[in-house]
Structure 1
Amino acid sequence: MRDKGLADAEPVKVSVLAGGQSNPTFRIDAGKNRHYVLRKKPPGTLIASAHAIDREFRVMQALANTGVPVPRMLDYCEDASLIGTPFFVMEFLEGRVFMDQALPGMTNAERTALYREMNRVIAALHAVDHKAVGLGDYGKEGNYVSRQIARWSRQCRESTLPVNASMHRLMEWLPAHLPEGDETTLVHGDYRLDNLIFHPSEARVIGVLDWELSTLGHPLADLAYQCMGWRIPHDLWRGIGGLDLAALGIPSEAQYVQWYGEATGRDAAGHWDFYIAYNLFRMAAILHGIAQRAAEGTAAAEDAVETGRKAGPLADLGWEAAQRYMASR
Structure 2
Amino acid sequence: MTVAKQAESGATPGFDTQAVAAWLARQATELEPPLAWTRLPGGHSNLSYMIEDGNGRKAVIRRPPLGELLPKAHDMGREWKLITALGPTPVPVPRALAFCDDKAVTGAHFYVMSHVDGRPLYTAEDTERLVPEDQRVKLAHSFIDVLADLHALDPDALGLGDLGKRDSYVGRQLKTWYQSWTASIAPAKYDDPRAHTLQKFFLDNLPDQGPARVVHGDYGLHNCLTGPEHTIAAVVDWEISTLGDPLADLAYALNTWPDPERGFPVIPDSATAVTGFPLRRDLAARYAERTGRDLSLLDYYAGFNRWKTAAIVHGVYARYMEGKKSAEGVDLDLLRSRVDQNLAWAAEAIERLLARG
User: Per the shorter chain, which TM-score range?
Assistant: 0.7 to 0.9
The answer to whether the 8 Å contact 2:187/2:319 transfers is no
AA of the residue aligned to 1:216? L
Do the aligned partners of 1:39 and 1:88 also contact (CA within 8 Å) in 2?
yes
The structure with more radius of gyration: 2
Q: Which residue of 1 aligns with 2:66?
A: 43
- Measured in 1, the distance between the counterparts of 2:332 and 2:50 equals 24
Deviations 1:42-62 (A, max 9, x none): 233334533233211111110
Look up the equivalent residue of 1:57 and give its one-letter code: W
- SS in structure 2 of the partner of residue 37 of structure 1: strand
Residue matched to 1:120:
145
Tell me the SS of whatever aligns to 1:90.
strand
Q: Is the 8 A contact 1:77 1:86 kept in 2?
A: yes
- After the TM superposition, which of the residue ranges 286-295 and 140-149 deviates more from structure 2? 286-295
Aligned partner of 1:19 among 39, 42, 50: 42
Question: Aligned match of 1:225 in 252, 260, 273?
Answer: 252
1:151-170 alpha-carbon deviations (Å, 9 max, x no partner) = 33334445585365244443
Query: What's 1:83 paired with?
Result: 106
Q: Which of 249, 252, 272 is 2:276 aligned to?
A: 249
The CA RMSD measured in Å over matched residues stands at 3.2
Partners in 2 of 1:306 and 1:48 — Cα distance?
32
1:130 equivalenced with 2:155 (yes/no): yes
Which amino acid in 1 is paired with 2:25?
A: R
The Cα of 1:133 is off from its aligned counterpart by 1.2
Partner of 1:234: 267
Cα 1:38–1:151 change in 2 (3 A) is farther
**TM-score normalised by structure 2 residue count:** 0.77
Q: Is the 8 A contact 2:31 2:52 kept in 1?
A: no
Letter in 1 for 2:160: L
The AA in structure 1 aligned to 2:236 is L
| Residue 100 (structure 1) shift | 3.0
Change beyond 3 A, Cα 1:57–1:282:
farther
Q: Does 1:189 align with 2:221?
A: no
* 1:280 aligned onto 2:306: yes
What fraction of aligned residue pairs are identical, expressed as a percent? 33
Contact 1:43 1:84 in 2 (8 A): no
| Equivalent of residue 77 in structure 2, options 54, 57, 62 | 54
Question: After the TM superposition, which of the residue ranges 302-311 and 175-184 deviates more from structure 2?
Answer: 302-311
Q: Is the 1:232–1:317 Cα contact (8 Å) retained in structure 2? A: no
Matches within 5 A, 1:1-329: 1-6=24-29, 10-100=33-123, 103-105=127-129, 106-158=131-183, 162=188, 164-165=191-192, 166-180=194-208, 182-200=210-228, 202-229=229-256, 230=258, 231=264, 233-235=266-268, 238=270, 240=272, 248-268=275-295, 270-288=296-314, 296=324, 310-329=338-357
In terms of mean alpha carbon deviation, does 209-218 or 141-150 score higher? 141-150
Aligned to 2:18: none
Deviations 1:125-160 (A, max 9, x none): 111121111111112223111122223333444558
Q: Can you list the C-alpha shifts for 1:207-265, whole angstroms capped at 9, x where unaligned?
A: 10111121111111111111111336422x6375xx6x7xx232112111111111111
The CA distance in 2 between the partners of 1:48 and 1:288, in whole Å, is 23
Residues 52-88 of structure 1: CA distance to partner in whole angstroms, max 9, x if unpaired?
3321111111001000000011222233344343222
Contact 2:86 2:158 in 1 (8 A): yes
Higher relative contact order (CA 8 A, sep 6+): 1
Q: Distance in 2 between matches of 1:273 and 1:239?
A: 22
1:143 counterpart letter in structure 2: S
Letter in 1 for 2:297: H
User: Is the contact made by 2:168 and 2:209 (CA closer than 8 Å) also made in structure 1?
Assistant: no
Could you list the runs of 5+ residues in structure 1 that have no partner in the other structure?
Answer: none
Alpha-carbon shift at residue 276 of structure 1 (Å): 0.2
Q: Secondary structure at the match of 1:206?
A: strand
SS in 2 for 1:13: strand
Asked if 2 retains the 8 angstrom alpha-carbon contact of 1:290 and 1:304, the reply is no
Matched residue count: 319
* 1:41/1:51 contact within 8 Å kept: yes
